[in-house]
Amino acid sequence: MIHKVLVANRGEIAIRVMRSCREMNIRSVAVFSEADRKSLHVRYADEAYCIGPAPSAESYLNMDKIIEVALETGVDAIHPGYGFLSENAEFARKCIEAGIIFIGPSPEAIALMGDKITARKTMIAAGVPVVPGTTNKITTEDEALKIVDEIGLPVMIKASAGGGGKGMRLVHQKEDVKSALGMARSEALSAFGDDSVYIEKYIESPHHIEFQIFGDQLGNVVHLFERECSVQRRHQKVVEETPSPNISPEIRAEMGAYAVRAAKAVGYYGAGTIEFIMDDESHYYFLEMNTRLQVEHPITERVVGIDLV
């Protein structure tokens, strides 16, 4: 039974988690940087503690300090929110080792789906359709050109550890492969500390469809239907809507079943999102999994009438 939760985040998502805690008669503990001392989430929580200076690396990303506060305040669980440490397998593992419940999936599932190359291999093994491309990291121009010849242009070079549109380069011409590969690897190393990249076929004018899933620790997984997020700028979602106006009931059922299969393949529990990309002929492919509650979850709540937090 959970009686007290530390929310390892700030802003809207911290308030969102604390609101649900309050409705469930669970006490909430906020953490904050020196710059956020007067933030709303600090005032809203039952308890609040400073964990460091303004830079995130010294506060909201400081795993040991957050766990130290959690132990000192006697919380039963830590909710990571989204961003910061929410998809950090090491943090989830540290919580468990400290005897604290991590409100999210297992460290193993986070690590498995966080590495995009490993995730692609896992989905292929599970029979989930994936975008044509590589299942190993690409390090040389020759390797990249060989893949381009196999799957055809255009292609997308993507960071294996990536997200948020970073470490990605679109290639339309063979002569651009070398420079795009170098830039993608450099950006990936800078953003994620890992320069591993892979290549996949670029789906032109796609629909981006994501399925909200939930799993328990007994192996049961359900989906709560889809959200469409095709309107994007620089690979960042601008508009989300649900239900999607661009898929048929039959495609919705098929994609939902694949989303559940994907989650079961990694023993997933908690809230997560399986993302698909669909071309103009309604061929769809697994894109990636977000092993956390997403920013966009409220529109699903509005449709299904369930508090996802």
For the segment 292-304, what is each residue's pLDDT rounded down to a tens digit?
Answer: 999 899 999 999 9
Do 126 and 227 share a structural domain?
Answer: yes
pLDDT attached to residue 235: 77
Dig out the tokens for 51 from the structure. Answer: 């964990």
In a domain, 135, yes or no: no
Choice among 79-88, 156-165, 197-206, 235-244 with the minimum mean pLDDT: 156-165
Looking at the DSSP bridge assignments, the partners of residue 277 are 208, 285
Domain boundary among 201, 229, 250: 201
Contact between 297 and 270 under an 8 Å Cβ cutoff? The reply is: no
Task: Please state, for a pLDDT cut of 70, what percent of the chain lies above it.
Answer: 100
In a domain, 26, yes or no: yes
Dig out the tokens for 251 from the structure. Answer: 């495609």
Alpha carbon 31 to chain centroid, angstroms: 22
In a domain, 136, yes or no: no
Element (H, E) at 50: strand 47-52
Which of 169, 234, 292, 302 is catalytic? The answer is: 292
In a domain, 55, yes or no: yes
Domain limits for position 92: 4-102
In a domain, 275, yes or no: yes
Nearest to 287, CA basis, from 152, 183, 132, 166: 132
Domain harbouring 291, CATH code: 3.30.470.20
pLDDT (tens digit, 9 = 90+) per residue, 90-117? 999 999 999 999 999 999 999 999 889 9
Average pLDDT of the chain?
A: 94
Beta-strand pair 47-52/168-171: unpaired
In a domain, 63, yes or no: yes
Do 82 and 39 share a structural domain?
Answer: yes
pLDDT attached to residue 167: 87
In a domain, 309, yes or no: no
Domain boundary among 201, 217, 252: 201
Do 176 and 292 share a structural domain?
Answer: no
Do 183 and 215 share a structural domain?
Answer: no
Do 194 and 126 share a structural domain?
Answer: no
Do 56 and 28 share a structural domain?
Answer: yes
Do 260 and 172 share a structural domain?
Answer: no
Do 126 and 208 share a structural domain?
Answer: yes
Helices 177-192 and 141-151: angle between axes, nearest 10 degrees:
110
Domain count, the chain: 3
Q: Is 78 strand, coil or helix?
A: strand
Question: Catalytic site residue 292?
Answer: yes
Do 115 and 245 share a structural domain?
Answer: yes
Q: Which residues contact 71 (CB under 8 A, 6 or more apart)?
A: 98, 100
Nearest to 221, CA basis, from 289, 305, 134, 285: 289
Nearest to 159, CA basis, from 126, 115, 127: 115
pLDDT attached to residue 189: 86
Do 173 and 33 share a structural domain?
Answer: no
Do 149 and 119 share a structural domain?
Answer: no
Do 274 and 126 share a structural domain?
Answer: yes
Domain harbouring 76, CATH code: 3.40.50.20
Distance CA 161, CA 188 (A): 8
Record the pTM.
Answer: 0.90
Distance CA 82, CA 7 (A): 11
Distance CA 297, CA 240 (A): 10
pLDDT (tens digit, 9 = 90+) per residue, 200-246? 999 998 999 999 999 999 999 999 999 999 998 887 889 999 999 99
